């Protein structure tokens, strides 16, 4: 799909890069020649991911254990990350989410998610941005959102609020930093079966319908598919795209919008459709 070496000479920092969608993106960027900086809370998870990537793709991979909620720690991490060679790409993939009735959420529960997704995303993006601006470097930022940034998400209130804030950040900075050659875009994934998302949002033992239910294409997403979109958006091929959010959800957002009659319409027989076609037609004149 992409020319080999597409990201050769680029250096990408990926938060949440040790697992889930962040790791899928890291692997794809490495496959296309990018050097990586993996950031996450768990050093062992980052190191294990980095070892695999180095072995498979031979690129340089640095690991910086860092909690993105802590602005001072992010500044120190970013100093270290830029020290050997400046970054060209930032992917905000670190996230937190869980299912809860909103009226039961404690202030700390809201903080836990908003601090990771919104404040963490801002901490990292601003720390990278001020270095790019000071150095006069162009760059690309990609944030993993969800459709809930646009629609809200019942029972996932803190995540929906936080992702909506990240979308506002993308749109604000795309304009503010456009003259500096810094592009910011988002991806809104549908159901991708990662442990982090599915473990919390589709807990075992619950009676939720299968993840592919409500997806027009009839299946969950493959991390590789998301990684390809993430590659395109940070590549030169997307050089005129900024402030945009692209859904990759097999049509799920549109199925929801189609309304509750959709399953019935899908199950109608040809006879029902034929009867419907004739309904209300004037009988032919004798």
Among positions 73-112, residues that touch ligand HXC (CB under 6 A) are 95-98, 100, 106, 108-109, 112
Q: Residue 196 interacts with ligand HXC (CB under 6 A)?
A: yes
Q: Cβ 93 to ligand HXC, closest distance in Å?
A: 9
The 47-76 site mask, x for binding ligand HXC (CB under 6 A), equals ------------------------------
Residue 21: closest CA among 183, 187, 163: 187
Region of 152 (left: φ > 0; alpha: ψ -120 to 50; beta: rest) is left
H-assigned helices in the chain: 20-31, 43-57, 71-84, 107-114, 120-135, 148-151, 157-176, 195-201, 223-234, 252-258, 262-267, 270-278
Beta bridge partners of 182: 139
Q: Does 197 bind ligand HXC (CB under 6 A)?
A: yes
Nearest-approach distance from CB 73 to ligand HXC, in angstroms: 14
Minimal distance in Å, beta carbon 139 to ligand HXC? 24
Closest CA to 142 of 99, 196, 91: 91
Among the candidate windows 131-139, 151-159, 254-262, 273-281, which touches ligand HXC by CB under 6 A? 151-159
How far apart CA 54 and CA 36 sit, in angstroms, is: 10
Site track for ligand HXC across 118-147, x = CB under 6 A: ----------------------------x-
Q: Three-class SS of residue 89?
A: strand
In the complex with ligand HXC, the residue whose CB is nearer, 6 or 45, is 45
Least CB distance from residue 145 to ligand HXC, whole Å? 8
Q: How far apart are CA 252 and CA 218, in angstroms?
A: 9
Tokens at 151, concatenated = 């629609």
Beta carbon of residue 255, minimum distance to ligand HXC (angstroms, whole number): 16
> Which secondary structure element, helix H or strand E, spans residue 244, and what is its range?
strand 244-248
Candidate list 92, 159, 220, 235; residue touching ligand HXC; CB under 6 A:
159
Where do contacts with ligand HXC occur on this chain (CB under 6 A)? 95-98, 100, 106, 108-109, 112-113, 146, 148, 153, 156, 159, 196-197, 200
């Amino acid at each position: 799909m992409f020319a080999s070496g597409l990201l050769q000479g680029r250096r990408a920092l990926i938060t949440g890069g040790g697992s889930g969608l962040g790791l899928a993106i890291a692997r794809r960027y490495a496959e296309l020649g990018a050097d990586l900086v993996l950031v996450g809370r768990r050093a062992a998870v980052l190191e294990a991911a980095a070892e695999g990537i180095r072995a498979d793709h031979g690129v340089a991979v640095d690991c910086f254990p860092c909690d993105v909620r802590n602005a001072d720690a992010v500044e120190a991490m970013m100093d270290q990350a830029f020290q050997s060679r400046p970054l060209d790409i930032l992917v905000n993939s670190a996230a937190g989410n869980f299912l809860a009735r909103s009226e039961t959420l404690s202030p700390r529960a809201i903080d836990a998610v908003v601090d990771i997704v919104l404040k963490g995303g801002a901490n990292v993006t601003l720390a990278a941005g001020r270095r790019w601006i000071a150095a006069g470097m162009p760059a690309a930022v990609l944030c993993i959102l969800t459709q809930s940034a646009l629609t809200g998400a019942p029972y996932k209130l803190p995540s929906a609020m936080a992702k909506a804030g990240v979308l506002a950040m993308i749109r604000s900075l795309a304009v503010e930093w456009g003259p500096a050659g810094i592009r910011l875009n988002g991806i809104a994934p549908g159901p991708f079966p990662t442990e982090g998302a599915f473990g919390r949002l589709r807990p075992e033992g619950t009676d939720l319908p299968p993840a592919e239910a409500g997806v027009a294409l009839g299946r969950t997403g493959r991390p590789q598919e998301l990684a390809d979109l993430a590659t395109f958006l940070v590549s030169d091929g997307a050089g005129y795209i900024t402030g945009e959010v692209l859904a990759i959800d097999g049509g799920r957002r549109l199925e929801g919008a189609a309304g509750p009659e959709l399953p019935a319409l899908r199950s109608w027989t040809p006879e029902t459709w034929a009867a419907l076609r004739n309904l209300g037609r004037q009988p032919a004149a004798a």
